[in-house]
Amino acid sequence: MEIKTVEMHTGGEPLRIVQSGLPPIIGKTILEKRRYCQEKLDFVRKLLIYEPRGHFDMYGAYIVEPDHSEADMAVLFLHNEGYSTMCGHAVIALGRYSVDYKLVSPVSPVTCVNIQCPCGLVRVFVDFNGQKTGSARFRSVPAFAFDVAVTIETERYGKVVVDIGYGGAFYALVPAERFGLDVKTSRTRDLVEAASHVTACAKKQVKLRHPDSEDLAFLYGTILTDGKDEFQENATANICVFAKDEVDRSPTGSGVTTRIAVQYHRKLIGLNQVRKFESVTGSLFTGVAAEETTCGEFKGVIVEVAGKGYYTGTATFTTEPDDKLGQGFLLH
């Protein structure tokens, strides 16, 4: 097996885009393709995401054939635990990649790339004026507050009150202060420990549902925030811990979408009020509630998130039949 990739990052969060070498991915719909990868091709994910080619916090993307009539392309996202339903940092990078690698015809000054994600169609707007700036923004699928002020019983921290929202994936939101932590100064491992414990407990106690598909109804992770949810000009900081204790180096595109949706639901922000979001690396995304919408019985918003995607290189990965470690392992 020989797999060629293009390597990128958005806000410090890596993205390994597979260009060639994948076995056929079977399925009529994108969710069927996602399930096929889970059931039949997971060894490829481990080859690309796990060591020795990747690491515990690696992230990747397969470009596949869309089944949405408006889509220019479709994408499957992969990480240390499996396959997510939405990834904002990835679609920002993929928007630029699509223009630069001529998957879509560039239009000046802004090229629109319609990307079908497992959660639905996401529209990415790539700045294009003959120069490669890396800047792009995406408009989310309908995002909403699923439930607010939910009390979770935890073994380690007692009762913890969280908000649960959806921004292409479901997250629990809670201020880091609740655990005596600060998202900008505390040790990352302490933040991860608190967030992962909340996720594990919430998964057992909260039954999620999504109007479109049961495949979307799972808690992806917990986002610890600085508690600054009311609108202000300064950036609000957060750390997103998702999948298997994986830490997002970026502010998290789907996480920003979720935070905006919950803030709007709580009437802490209004339409078209642009907010800045800061990650553990100091990188920034902006997010704004662009318009009201609905998703089944949920009232929500379309959120627009902006950031910059950059190239870091290319790679050709190979395997040898007697290399058991080369099939992938994780140290954590």
Residues with a known catalytic role: 87
Bridge partners, 153 (sequence order): 159
Q: Can you tell me the distance from the alpha carbon of 59 to that of 77, in angstroms, rounded to the nearest whole number? A: 8
**Residue 160 carries which side chain, given as an amino acid letter?**
V
Helix-helix angle 253-265:88-100, to 10 degrees: 130
The two structure tokens encoding residue 220: 């992806």
| CA proximity to 88, closest of 289, 321, 287, 310 | 287
